Amino acid sequence: MCPVTVFEQDGFDLRVEWGLDGVRALGPHCAVLVIVDVLVFSTTVNVAVEQGARVLPLPWRDERAAEVAGAAGATLIPTGLVNLAGQPTATSDPGWTLRPSSLAGSVPAGTFLAISSANGSHLSAAAAESGATVLAGCLRNASAVAAKAVELAGDGPIGVVAAGERWKNGDTLRPAIEDYLGAGAIVAAITGRTTPSPEATLAALTYRTAQVAELVTDSISGRELAVAGVPKDVALATEIDVSTAVPVLTDGVYEQ
């Protein structure tokens, strides 16, 4: 049995934390763990799964990702991978990228994708080792994820982890408001929990009072995508409850 400290939010049946350390803190003590990376991993996984695809999240951004994806028979979508020497790695693909808009309406049912990302994929892989049932949540499927989490958790605690972004040095977490709002949307839709932690309570209150699309669009992450020329990904990611697809991590693969 794992020892319990205050960092696990012990005694609360609904919990919210941040990043990889949050996964490690909550995962072993929760029946269900929801990973929220709104811009854009969780949104991309939702878009893929609702079309009948499966997604293999990979924690590496080097040639190991290509090797594991190839061995699994998955199509690795390019996300700026480099080899162990730091050189770009070529991948063959049909035009798909980590951007959810590149997948919308273009992924045949039964497609097996592999996605490597510094945040959502990394957290998903870590969560898979925690013993919790892992879901991928975003604004698009918040209510559906909430209902599935309640169904799967039974009487056990539910943890929701806002992925956050990385600062440019790559080593430290940058809290990202889009992920906090996504976590809050899921928490706000969860029923049957009587003792949410203060962290969960605040996330839900924040979501309920927020102008979500406006805030995310004007956030650091939203403006970063706009500068990169892909503002439609922000618009897609800020659609609320438009999807009933719930990606569940089964044997390391997200599927519905």
Instruction: Measure CA of the first residue to CA of the last residue in the chain; give whole Å.
Output: 30
Q: Could you tell me the residue ranges of all domains in the chain?
A: 10-255
Q: In what order do the strands lie in the sheet with 133-137?
A: 14-18, 158-162, 32-36, 133-137, 248-250, 253-255, 54-58, 112-116, 75-76
The secondary structure of residue 117, as a DSSP letter, is -
The per-residue pLDDT for 88 is 40
Contact status, residue 70 vs residue 13, Cβ threshold 8 Å: no
Q: What is the rounded average pLDDT of the residues 109-132?
A: 94
Q: What is the rounded average pLDDT of the residues 164-168?
A: 90
Peptide bond preceding 40 in cis form (omega within 30 of 0)? yes
Q: What is the rounded average pLDDT of the residues 7-12?
A: 96
Tokens for 181, please give them.
């709002």
The per-residue pLDDT for 4 is 64
How many CB atoms lie under 10 A from the CB of residue 57? 28
Amino acid at position 128, single letter = A
Q: Comparing 28-32, 170-174, 187-191, which segment has the lowest mean pLDDT?
A: 170-174
Predicted confidence (pLDDT) per residue in 174-229, tens digit:
999 999 999 999 999 999 999 999 999 999 999 999 999 999 999 999 999 999 88
Q: What is the rounded average pLDDT of the residues 157-162?
A: 98
Contact status, residue 111 vs residue 214, Cβ threshold 8 Å: no
**Would you place residue 91 in the very low, low, confident or very high pLDDT band (cuts 50, 70, 90)?**
very low
- Greater pLDDT, 230 or 185: 185
Helices (H), 154-239: 177-189, 198-208, 212-218, 220-227, 231-237
Tokens for 120, please give them.
């959502």
Going by CATH, does the domain composed of 10-255 fall within 3.90.1560.10?
yes
